[in-house]
Amino acid sequence: EALRLLFQDLRRLAGDGLRHLGEVRKQHLPNKGAHNDLRMAGGLCHGEFAWFLRGRPQIACLFEALFDLPAGAPMTGSVDVVALAPPSCPMAREAVGKRWLHLDYSPPQGQIYQASIQLFPEGEEFGGRWERIAL
Please write the tens of the pLDDT for every residue from 100-122: 555 566 777 776 666 777 788 88
Please tell me the distance from the alpha carbon of residue 38 to that of residue 88, in angstroms, as a whole number: 15
pLDDT at site 100: 52
- Residue 85, beta-bridge partner list: 132
Residues of the chain with confidence (pLDDT) below 50 = 92, 97-98
Instruction: For CA atoms 19, 21, 25, 28, give the dihedral sign.
Output: positive
State the pairing for strand pair 82-85/132-134. Answer: antiparallel
